[in-house]
Amino acid sequence: MKKFKKLLAAVFACALALNVSPVLSVQAAQSTDGLADGTAYLNINNADWADFEAEWTNAEITGDGSYTVAMKAAEPQNLAQFNALEVVNGESVLGTGCVLTVDSIKINGEEVELQGPSFTCSADGAGVTTRVNIYNEWNAPDETATAGDDSHLDQRVAEGSVMDATAMLFSSDYLTAGITDLEVAFTVSGYGTAAAEGGSSAPVTAEGPAMAHLNINNADWTEFEGEWTDAEITGDGTYTVSMTAAEPQNLAQFNALEVENGELLMGTSCVLTVDSIKINGEEVELQGPSYTCSADGAGVTTRVNIYNEWNAPDETATAGDDSHLDNRVAEGSVMDATAMLISSDYLTDLTSIEVTFTVSGFGASAAAGEAAGSEVPAVDLGGTYHAYLGFQTPKYSFRNAFDDADYGRDSDYFNQVTGWDDSNNAVVIPGTFTDVEIAGNGTYTVSVDGLEFPNGEFDGQEYMNLIFLSTDIPNTGEITISDVELKVDGKKVDLASAGAVVSPDSVNYVNILLQNIWNNDVKEIGYYGVPMTSMSITFTVSGFNYDAAPAEEAPAETPAESPAASEAPAEEGGSNTGLIVGIVAAVVVVAGGAAGVVVAKKKKGDKK
């Protein structure tokens, strides 16, 4: 028997801000917007995880050698439990075999004693930003010296094992020392080299075999003992995969047939068609035809949903934004396919499941441009549009994009925050959305207020899964959104180094992604407190052929005598009926990480 490793979405205990350029006066953990790839900088955070005035000295790494980065604060700062040296897109520019060794650290002008050797890792576990922890209470080197799952090797520590290295290079006494100056000198070696074979578990290119397996999840989302039969896909033909549990299991709302690296190994036009499913030894009636999609929306893992309550085929038959075509269903439109091939009745007391499927188009890839979904509507540059704030919590309470088929603007869920009770029934969570009509070029704000999340909503993860801006502006490129600002409980939050990005989760409309823990570009943003009671997104719109009308100024009030108590008007009761509360939809994204600007939205059962 082997124990099936369940979905663990693990990102580090705090999602933190990244950081700006050579000696520049900015506020707080500096923003990396505008920094060239390969630029080293300090990611320093004060104890309040708040903005502070500072000058930053960064260093552009051009090869092996010694470099120095520094921070000079306007006022003494006590530091948080996470501070690091980082390199913008370092895994790509420096190479996954490149090592950064901290030689010395000066605090307030005095060199401090290092508590051990440093280690180099991928800041996000996805091969994007390179990091050397200076003081990080939430990380330690593993056997490959990673802060995730990257391609770094364990020979980065010159003497001894990397396990002797430390993520806390200086004593915790310095955190409360009132730091005004911090300088880090380091040496770069192995510039431009890649990790040796075996150092990477997330290759850009994949070697076979293409192994199909079942991703089956029980109702508790926990590990369980079972025997699993996988299938090596070698070409077009029929294959079978199965699972037999040691004890009967009630299943979760997400279960699938998957092929790791299938998009690379089988091609993006390869179709897996489910022919039959047996549960507890008996063949069951399929609720409709299956469809093939990219499990992560990044063209990595291929998926066929067996039972997935949080996904449905879109016009390109994707669970994200991939290159699959809509001709995967032999008869009729792919929109007739279903993500729930079995009845929900079979989710209880399951001891075995067997799936037989046919592979066709092995090795074929979609032609360039064929991945686009339906035609983007024409934009009216003299018209008006709308914008909405959306999010998803770690417990999957959410508000979806306006055009989501199940939970969008045309559904009963859109004007509420929707959560889930212990039995996975939808419940309403307090909160009031204020949406906005976009009428011309100008600056706009959408928000949600009065949030009251239940206890435990952020247990184990103290930040959102998703925060985004949804609009009904046709995505033709003629109208653009910029200068995006996020506030949580009235405090500005630093966005990721890539800034807010245009989200491809809807090819037809402009949606802006601020945070997505499964998207490396916007996974880590600045600290914000949870549970929050309010959030707002302010943004600038341009491209219309007219400007928004200026806001009307309120007339000056003329002082008046207060009326006697008996004459005072009664207070009018009323609630702020700003639109919408709700769900951020769950294009369930299970499996590897997506590089680039790729939206991968998940629900329970999704793994990274």
Beta bridge partners of 210: 233
Of 87-101, 118-132, 349-363, minimum mean pLDDT range: 118-132
In the predicted structure, residue 565 carries a pLDDT above the cut 50: no
Q: Which residue has the tokens 């040496």?
A: 187
Instruction: Taking residues 514-521, report their average pLDDT.
Output: 79
Q: How many helices (H) and strands (E) does the chain have?
A: 2, 35
Nearest to 256 by CA among 147, 358, 353, 321: 353
- The more confident residue out of 98 and 606 is 98
> How high is the pLDDT of residue 475?
83
Instruction: Taking residues 82-94, report their average pLDDT.
Output: 86
* 250 confidence band (pLDDT: 50, 70, 90): very high
* 207 confidence band (pLDDT: 50, 70, 90): low
Can you read off the two tokens belonging to residue 37? 């790839």
> How high is the pLDDT of residue 426?
84
Instruction: Taking residues 198-207, report their average pLDDT.
Output: 38
In degrees and rounded to multiples of 5, residue 278 shows phi and psi of -110, 130
Instruction: Taking residues 69-98, report their average pLDDT.
Output: 88
> How high is the pLDDT of residue 407?
82
- The more confident residue out of 449 and 605 is 449
Q: Exposure of 316 by Cβ count < 10 A (0-12 exposed, 13-18 middle, 19+ buried)?
A: buried
* 15 confidence band (pLDDT: 50, 70, 90): very low
Nearest to 120 by CA among 150, 92, 81: 150
* 595 confidence band (pLDDT: 50, 70, 90): very low
User: What percent of the chain shows pLDDT beyond 90?
Assistant: 40
CA 235, 239, 244, 248 torsion-angle sign: positive
> How high is the pLDDT of residue 186?
93
> How high is the pLDDT of residue 562?
34
* 49 confidence band (pLDDT: 50, 70, 90): confident
CA dist 59 and 537 (Å) reads 32
> How high is the pLDDT of residue 327?
40
What size, in residues, is the chain? Answer: 608
> How high is the pLDDT of residue 378?
84
Can you read off the two tokens belonging to residue 369? 């441009």
* 29 confidence band (pLDDT: 50, 70, 90): low
Of 73-87, 306-320, 551-565, minimum mean pLDDT range: 551-565
- The more confident residue out of 404 and 327 is 404
> How high is the pLDDT of residue 270?
82
* 516 confidence band (pLDDT: 50, 70, 90): confident
Of 158-162, 497-501, 595-599, minimum mean pLDDT range: 595-599
> How high is the pLDDT of residue 584?
28
CA dist 125 and 593 (Å) reads 9
In the predicted structure, residue 281 carries a pLDDT above the cut 50: yes
- The more confident residue out of 356 and 590 is 356
Pick from 97-111, 160-174, 561-575 the range whose average pLDDT is largest.
Answer: 97-111
> How high is the pLDDT of residue 208?
65
Instruction: Taking residues 138-154, report their average pLDDT.
Output: 52
Of 110-124, 142-156, 233-247, 531-545, minimum mean pLDDT range: 142-156
Residue pair 500/464 in contact by the 8 Å Cβ criterion: no
- The more confident residue out of 21 and 525 is 525
- The more confident residue out of 336 and 400 is 400
DSSP state of 265: H
CA dist 240 and 52 (Å) reads 59
In the predicted structure, residue 102 carries a pLDDT above the cut 60: yes
Residue pair 97/194 in contact by the 8 Å Cβ criterion: yes
- The more confident residue out of 502 and 383 is 383
- pLDDT tens for 399-454 read 988 887 678 898 889 999 999 887 778 899 999 999 999 999 999 999 999 999 99
The amino acid at 465: N
